[in-house]
A and B are shown apart, each in its own frame.
Chain A
């Protein structure tokens, strides 16, 4: 750590390990310990995950228990040290916190009740907030006081485009009724061209912002890591395969409900996303049948897929809520970060189903109001993706790709390692 050329990885590791033994002359920060503790960061972690992690006495039970930790520089013991030392910069650039699926085997084994699994969840939130662009949105999204503001923004945006519907149509030179073949539908109030245009615009914006945020994150990860061991594309391929089969969830031995609930939510969401893409690309989709009319009939395969996806999402979310509220020891109590995503998704899916039901019941004008609320939550979900727990979608995937890319794989059994145990020097022990 005495030369500027050393990687952050080495600095984080050696600082935490060396701790106060580092002589002032070696300190890069000017602090006699080599570490500038970010006390505010420690307090933030205490507020979000509870102050249990302060009880950690660095025995390493958590790292040795973890089914996902690589043998080389395993987690979460080192993260527990960094958190206690207030080493924010090391933690928000740490890929390892994203390799954890919070099965909490570490927390149930911890002899001190320091709950490492819950701490890593809190660090993931801080990682999202620290890498987010712009940062103030990260703060807003994670502050309960901002809820009215956060709901107000999509309400205002949606209202604005609806209010501007006719001028916009005139300006773009399209009729409000675009001549689509439409049976009984919502499009009289919410024309498809308007919604598609609106959601395309905010999605593009969010994508841009996400790329900037994840770019920051990726840059931080690279500063922490050695040379790549394989290509980026093969890494992405291997990661996506793992994500689809949820293999990391099955590695955690004790918490099978997490696997099922996340699997349902994941594939439910994926199904809904596919149907949405299929529908909004109707105009340019060569596979779309020529006699396509809005909306799909109930027995249309796409409609069936959408309903099945919605049902899976609802079931998965209910399981999540059930297990989180019942088994707090293993599931973790859940923080504001967790619950905002769960409840936003729940509101999206409930208002979605409600919209569908009111549509079948032909209840006017209730169905339009509910549809508006539905669109509002969809908009919120997309808008706040880079700042909420929803961002785990990109951060975790990025960290997993990075782990593949740099060859950081989970535990390898090394039977011959007994010969590798080095005798610590007397001077080191008694220093």
Chain B
């Protein structure tokens, strides 16, 4: 988004292709971002306004680039726009969706709640149009929609569109996926419902999330009073992600603040190998050391199992600063899983070179193609936006005859 508006605002025409039916990616799914602790909706709203006001930006959602050919200054791309089945001719609201019965897991909330086949991805979604999941729509729901919606609001025969566009430069900002925590068998994610991941915690804490912002545990809805944060869940591990994702330490510290701000009696313990709060972010951590309800244990968690008290979890770890092996009981455990670049699973159809983890070098192997944000390296929101601006400048230089 940032790269698109930055380039468009200095006079270039931009096509923004987004795989999801909405803009905002991972950032809009966060509750707050560090270190200023402001909600992403603020910056998102500004960017949406910049897009709306700027006729030079064309947004395609849900869309993917199917083919990219040519050379710097003279690329040809084929864009596939998938049907959302909602025409946008009438404005819809949740009174319609409430009348449907078949549901699907809400991927926006990492599957912690469900939506009907007709849904709005989130409160602030842009484009604002609803989306219809054709695969989930049951026959009865289809009949219901025909009955309640104004004619022409939904087009079940909407076809996929294929567009050929000519472009001068490409910015790859494909982002990241959270590491699949079910691969960490010793940490019991997927087996014990009260073991969640850091991205799920963002949704739990968010006002628009599945619990309306209450940090409660999934198994029984009990208020989480004693929360464990397990750092390097799969990160810096030869068998999983050998690299450090650079943001998880700050993300967990931030989430400990959510826990503490929402409940003054809540306690939190962070298990870490090293707390990596670089530069001025160190202050954020340093301030938290004064809070008696927050503990820091230096040691990587080896095992999470069921505790004798229903729903509680037992964390096994060595406190390497001298207390030996600890067996600690918690209400809720949050795994700080790392960032996997989108390029690890799905390569965009171009002869781009990826490293062994799926990241793309910033100035890629192809002149005229530039990577930004987490497609390039794990990084936080502020660095991603700066990176996007830098990539926009590189693209502009390319269009003006540079490389």
Question: B319–A421 contact, CB under 8 A?
Answer: yes
Q: Of residues 279 to 332 in B, which have CB atoms within 8 Å of A's CB atoms?
A: 286, 289, 292, 294-303, 307-308, 314, 316-330
Task: Say whether A112 faces chain B, with CB atoms less than 8 Å apart.
Answer: yes
Docked pose: A113 CA to B239 CA in angstroms: 9
Docked pose: A17 CA to B321 CA in angstroms: 7
Question: A112–B238 contact, CB under 8 A?
Answer: yes
B47 contact set on A, CB distance < 8 A: none
B238 contact set on A, CB distance < 8 A: 111-113
A411 contact set on B, CB distance < 8 A: 325
Task: Knowing A57-B273, A415-B307, A426-B286 are in contact, say whether A64-B317 is a contact too (CB < 8 A).
Answer: yes
Proximity bits, A36-75, B CB within 8 Å = 1, else 0: 0000000000000000000001111101110001111110
Q: Please, how many residues of chain B have a CB less than 8 angstroms from a CB on the other chain?
A: 41
Say how far B335's CB is from chain A's closest CB, in angstroms. Answer: 14
Task: Say whether A77 faces chain B, with CB atoms less than 8 Å apart.
Answer: yes
User: Count of A-B contacts with CB under 8 A?
Assistant: 107
Task: Say whether A300 faces chain B, with CB atoms less than 8 Å apart.
Answer: no
Question: A414–B326 contact, CB under 8 A?
Answer: yes
Say how far A103's CB is from chain B's closest CB, in angstroms. Answer: 14
A73 contact set on B, CB distance < 8 A: 324
Task: Knowing A74-B325, A111-B237, A417-B326 are in contact, say whether A65-B303 is a contact too (CB < 8 A).
Answer: yes
Say how far B380's CB is from chain A's closest CB, in angstroms. Answer: 22
Question: A109–B186 contact, CB under 8 A?
Answer: yes
Docked pose: A267 CA to B321 CA in angstroms: 42
- Name the residue on B nearest A430 (C-beta): B286
Q: Please, how many residues of chain A have a CB less than 8 angstroms from a CB on the other chain?
A: 35
Question: B300–A111 contact, CB under 8 A?
Answer: yes
Q: Of residues 235 to 268 in B, which have CB atoms within 8 Å of A's CB atoms?
A: 236-240
Task: Say whether A361 faces chain B, with CB atoms less than 8 Å apart.
Answer: no
Docked pose: A58 CA to B319 CA in angstroms: 10
Docked pose: A109 CA to B302 CA in angstroms: 8
Task: Say whether B64 faces chain A, with CB atoms less than 8 Å apart.
Answer: no
Say how far B368's CB is from chain A's closest CB, in angstroms. Answer: 39
Task: Say whether A424 faces chain B, with CB atoms less than 8 Å apart.
Answer: yes
Say how far A115's CB is from chain B's closest CB, in angstroms. Answer: 11
Docked pose: A62 CA to B270 CA in angstroms: 19
Q: Of residues 390 to 420 in A, which have CB atoms within 8 Å of B's CB atoms?
A: 411, 413-415, 417-418, 420
Task: Say whether B269 faces chain A, with CB atoms less than 8 Å apart.
Answer: yes
Question: A421–B325 contact, CB under 8 A?
Answer: no
- Name the residue on A nearest B272 (C-beta): A59
Question: A422–B303 contact, CB under 8 A?
Answer: no
Docked pose: A256 CA to B294 CA in angstroms: 41
Say how far A23's CB is from chain B's closest CB, in angstroms. Answer: 19
Question: A418–B300 contact, CB under 8 A?
Answer: no
Give the 3 A-B residue pairs with the shortest CB-CB distance, closest first.
A60-B318, A64-B302, A111-B237
* Chain B residues in the interface with A (C-beta under 8 A): 186, 226, 232, 236-240, 269, 273, 286, 289, 292, 294-303, 307-308, 314, 316-330
Residue pairs across A and B with Cβ atoms less than 8 A apart, 16 shown, are A13-B322, A59-B273, A59-B320, A60-B317, A61-B318, A63-B302, A64-B316, A65-B303, A71-B324, A74-B318, A415-B314, A417-B326, A418-B269, A421-B297, A424-B296, A429-B296
